[in-house]
Structure 1
Amino acid sequence: MQDKEQQQLDTNIKLATSEEDSAKSHDEILGDQISDGELTFKKTSISLWLSSFSAGLEIGFSFLLIAVLHTFLQDKLSEDTIFKLMAFLYPVGFIMIIGGKSILFTEKTSLLLLPVLNKKRRIDKLLKTWALVIFGNLVGGWIMAAVIVWLGPRLGIIEGSTFEAIAHHVTANDGWTIFVSAILAGWLMGILSWLLTAAKESISRIFLVYLITGVLAFVGLHHSIVGNVEVFAGLLSSSKITWGMYLSFQGIALLGNAVGGTVFVALLKYSAFVKNVKV
């Protein structure tokens, strides 16, 4: 059974490298995902970290835009309406990251688990890679948050109260609520990775990124890497946002995102393939 499964996946990985006119099957998408995961594992540590760091910086542009929007509309519309409208600008950073091939933890969570399930990589290598990607994403986000907190008020495009309002909005729920919300966010990001593998055209890929991340923002689900920038900016600008709030949110959101991407995407998709392999 195991040998047959391995042979079938190896065949699918080869098929995934060739262009096809018809829509890809489940097995072909899985093969492509495993191949993509392998390419990420083969990157040097410094290349992996720099790409992750770049993603952390780029996701800051989503925060910059929603902070400017909040400042512009805060005296014109209700707070609830403003946060719903932010969803239309929220995807910009994700489009920059995914289009530019930077490495974002939540997009790669499920993808990096697949080579482990396929026994091509070991779990310790997965955990090391995850840690490196998360660290790069967080450091990039910290720097971008600091830049925006310093620059926004000086340009007159963001008021200081906006940083606190956004950070409070992100951290307002209890831990279990944030955890389950983060699971759904990680699930959506894992599905996005799967859909992007199936898509062929750049316009289709941009639309998918916009759709999935826009839904994530409109619903108000918790994304650990965007949330890192949002809450850290509040921490830098307001005494009402504490280190305890930041660390609690970050730990819970990262764990929830990881569970959503691994359990509800990688494990389910891979299990569906395994159950389809004939002995």
Structure 2
Amino acid sequence: MKADQKEKAEDQKNIDKKLEKSVESESDSPKSHGEILKQQIIEGQETYDKQPVSILLSSLTAGLEIGFSYLLLCTLYGFLFGKVEEETIFKLMSFVYPIGFIMVILGQSILFTEQTSLLTLPVLNKKRTVRSLLKLWSLVIVGNLVGGCLMAFILVWIGPKLEIFSLQSIEAIAVHVSQYPIGVILASSILAGWLMGLLSWLVAASKDTLSRIVIIFMITAVLAFAGLHHSIVGNVEVFSGLISSPKITWSAYGAFQSVSLIGNALGGAVFVALLKYRAFVYDIK
């Protein structure tokens, strides 16, 4: 037992030494795997070191800001409804869907799906515990969901008042998002979490703001065009339907929200954080 522990400790020292040697490449050279991983672990640890109130407020802000994507989704649906087929409208939404994500990520607010893999890496690197990860995830999720629900109340009221979309638009989007079986939503959410974890990795790999905007737009547009389930935007979409339409029930909202959160967490933590970290570890053994 002691020999195994000693071997594991030695392996961790080797990993840390390799990460420390990963220095920033020249401005015109792409970052290496080790450089990106080191940056992600450092950024993740910085989030752990923040005060709980700061994390809660930042995640609340992200929940509010992501609502601007939903505002544009509803406005586009309301504008095009009756002019083109509904299926076409849902595909065209992928062009406005990324706006809220650009605001959140460039504005440094804490979004659960974008932070999932980032916050998992310090745990894999044995700098933080699983308990601290779950506690931090809980704070971020609560802030994101509360912010999203507040934004939903605002938009459900202001949209019809400004005549930019109707309650029918809200209902159509909510039904479109939540109508699938639980198993389908879970698999879709895992893919969405995978994409969002990859988004965090690619943003860390980029060196200028313009390239980051392009990456955010590209990944989130793919997510929207494919109709994959994002737990935080989906929260605004389905909760808005819940408070304005009889077609969305509390049980439907609860089932959708819990499954999409689990799926997004699995996608980001397993398919990005774990695989990227293990690829680095095996490369140095």
Q: Quick one: which of 26, 47, 53 aligns to 1:20?
A: 26
Paired AA for residue 107 in structure 1: E
Aligned equivalent of 1:42, options 41, 46, 49: 49
Native 8 Å contact 2:62 2:147 kept in 1: yes
Identity across matched positions, percent? 58
Matched, 1:226 2:226: no
Does the CA contact (< 8 Å) of 2:178 and 2:256 recur in 1? yes
8 Å contact kept, 1:167–1:241 = yes
Match of 2:40 in 1: 33
1:201 matched to 2:230? The reply is no
Q: Are 2:189 and 1:182 aligned?
A: yes
**CA shift digits 1:55-94 (9 cap, x unpaired):** 0000000000010000010110111000000000000000
1:110 aligns to 2:117 (yes or no): yes
Q: Quote the Cα distance in structure 2 between the aligned partners of 1:13 and 1:99.
A: 27
For residue 247 of structure 1, what is the aligned residue in structure 2?
A: 254
Residue-by-residue CA offset, 1:139-174 (whole Å, 9 max, x unaligned): 000000000000000011111101110000001110
How far residue 274 of structure 1 moved from its aligned partner, in angstroms, is: 1.1
Indicate the SS of the match to 2:207: coil
| TM-score calculated relative to the size of structure 2 | 0.94
User: Using a 3 Å threshold, how does the CA distance of structure 1 residues 72 and 194 change in structure 2: closer, same or farther?
Assistant: same
Deviations 1:94-142 (A, max 9, x none): 0000000000000010110110011100111000000000000000000
Q: CA deviation at 1:277?
A: 1.4
Distance in 1 (alpha carbons) for counterparts of 2:61 and 2:17: 32
Mapped contact 1:185–1:222 kept (Cα < 8 A)? yes
Cα distance in structure 2, aligned partners of 1:5 and 1:217: 39
Query: Are the equivalent residues in 2 in contact too, given 1:34–1:115 (CA < 8 A)?
Result: yes
Equivalent residue, structure 1, for 2:163 = 156
| Cα offset, 1:6, TM superposition | 3.3
The residue that corresponds to 2:139 in the other structure is 132
Give the Å deviation of 1:49: 0.5
Secondary structure of the equivalent of 1:237? Answer: coil
**Contact 2:152–2:236 (CA under 8 A) maintained in structure 1:** yes
Aligned to 1:51: 58
Q: Does the 8 Å contact 1:6/1:118 carry over to 2?
A: no
1:97–1:104 contact (8 Å) kept in structure 2:
yes
Matched, 1:94 2:101: yes
Check conservation: 1:13, 1:35, Cα contact below 8 A.
Answer: no
Residues 248 and 25 (structure 1), Cα distance of their counterparts in 2 relative to 1, 3 Å cut: same
| CA positional deviation for 1:28 | 1.3
Structure 2 CA distance for partners of 1:14 and 1:39, relative to 1, 3 Å: farther
Q: 1:125 to 1:10 in 2, by over 3 A?
A: farther
Map of 2:178 onto structure 1: 171
CA change 1:13–1:237 in 2 (3 A) is farther
Does structure 1 retain, via aligned residues, the 8 Å contact 2:203–2:215? yes
What is the deviation of 1:8? 3.8
Following TM superposition, by how much is the alpha carbon of 1:20 offset from its aligned partner in structure 2, in angstroms? Answer: 3.1
Q: Which amino acid aligns with 2:26?
A: E
AA matched with 1:179: L
Q: Secondary structure at the match of 2:243?
A: helix
Structure 2 CA distance for aligned equivalents of residues 8 and 221 of structure 1: 35
Residue pair 1:9, 1:31 contacting (<8 A) in 2 also: no
- Whole-Å separation in 1 of the counterparts to 2:39 and 2:212: 16
> Matched residue of 2:156: which SS?
helix
Shift of 1:238: 0.5
Contact 2:25-2:31 within 8 A present in 1 as well: no
Alpha carbons of structure 1 residues 189 and 14: separation in structure 2 relative to 1, 3 Å: same
C-alpha separation between the residues in 2 aligned to 1:10 and 1:99? 31
Counterpart CA distance in 2 for 1:58 and 1:35 is 25
What CA distance in whole angstroms lies between the structure 1 residues aligned with 2:121 and 2:13? 13
RMSD: 1.3
The SS at the match of 2:229 is coil
